[in-house]
Amino acid sequence: MDMLVIINKLVVVFILMAAGFAVGKFNVLTKDGNKTLTKLVLSITLPCTILSSVFENEMEITAGNTVYFLLMSLLTLLIAYLISLPVVRLMGGEKANRGLLHFMAVFSNSGFMGFPILLALFGVSSAYYVALFSVIFNVLVFSVGVLMIVGKSRDGSGFSLKMLLNPTLIVALLAIPIALTGLKFPPIITEAIRITGGMTIPGSMIIIGSSLAYVPIKTVFSEWRIFPVSLLKLVIIPFFTWLIMRQIISNEMMLVTLVILSGMPVAAMASILAIEYNRNERIASAGIFLTTLLSAITVPLLVYLLLM
């Protein structure tokens, strides 16, 4: 792909994010409205994008490739976990905050940011792989991720199977047999799904931008630990992911997808789970804000280095 085309697509993505910041800052999109838009994207448009990726994908998808990519997705998150663990421990601080910081270093914003960026760069060809990654991602976020944040809860709260029952994960799981069997839907249905899925990129970027508008700037600089976490998340982890994965994966699309997803900003789920389990939501919001802001520089560089 021409580098100029890639840069243009990334610029469009970040312009949409800036538009989201503006509508959030001027209260055109309120916090409640942002939550509603988030539910719309997670429950409807993102699942439609995943299904559309299966219907329009021209790649040759086999059961072996699917299982292999699922395992590689698991390995990608394991690499992030192991690299960040000693760094987070060295930073010290309260144990509860360390768990949250570790979560922030491991889990990327693959849904709201990774998905639309890869979709903008490579079209629906990459959507099936990102859908597979989201299966592993969701399972680990709502199991290992919750345990990282809350620890061993005395009151029995924490991971439950109900947490896994979200539309994105369900559709991602359904997409696998649909892709492998070549199941076809009536054209009028697939067209409706495709048009609806087209809302994912602008919707996701507006959500991220407006969310950043609600974070007071002073909170970003009040917790020094988010700076080494940002370095881990945006530079160190994707570098080591690339270094290790290039020895294992020969398929370029798989490799690029996993490395780019590993270098995305902190997952929005960090803030959501921090609120849910009474942890330091301020640290989570500041980490999301800073890494998302810095990703405007690091993501284009990462894409350039991978594809030059």
Give pLDDT, residue 207: 84
pLDDT bracket for residue 154 (50, 70, 90) = very low
Q: Secondary structure of 42-84 in the HEC alphabet? A: HHHHHHHHHHHHHHHCCCCCCHHHHHHHHHHHHHHHHHHHHHH
Task: Give the best-scoring range by mean pLDDT among 118-127, 177-186, 253-262.
Answer: 253-262
Give pLDDT, residue 162: 63
**Assigned architecture for domain 3-307:** Up-down Bundle (1.20)
Instruction: Note the pTM of the prediction, 2 decimals.
Output: 0.78
pLDDT bracket for residue 54 (50, 70, 90) = confident
Give pLDDT, residue 246: 94
The residue ranking higher by pLDDT, 76 or 115, is 76
* DSSP secondary structure letter of residue 26: T
Classify 32 in phi/psi space as left (phi over 0), alpha (psi -120 to 50) or beta.
alpha
pLDDT tens-digit map of 230-239: 999 999 999 9
3-state class (DSSP) for residue 221: coil
3-state class (DSSP) for residue 108: strand
pLDDT bracket for residue 137 (50, 70, 90) = confident
Contacts of 85 (CB under 8 A, 6+ apart): 102
Give pLDDT, residue 270: 83
Q: Minimal CA–CA distance to 95: which of 280, 288, 282?
A: 280
* DSSP secondary structure letter of residue 163: G
Task: Give the best-scoring range by mean pLDDT among 184-188, 228-232, 280-284.
Answer: 228-232
Q: Is the pLDDT of residue 158 over 90?
A: no
Q: How far apart are CA 253 and CA 61, in angstroms?
A: 13
3-state class (DSSP) for residue 184: coil
3-state class (DSSP) for residue 266: strand
User: What integer is the mean pLDDT of 4-26?
Assistant: 81
- The C-alpha torsion from 143 through 147 and 150 to 152, rounded to 10°, is 120
Q: How far apart are CA 231 and CA 44, in angstroms?
A: 33
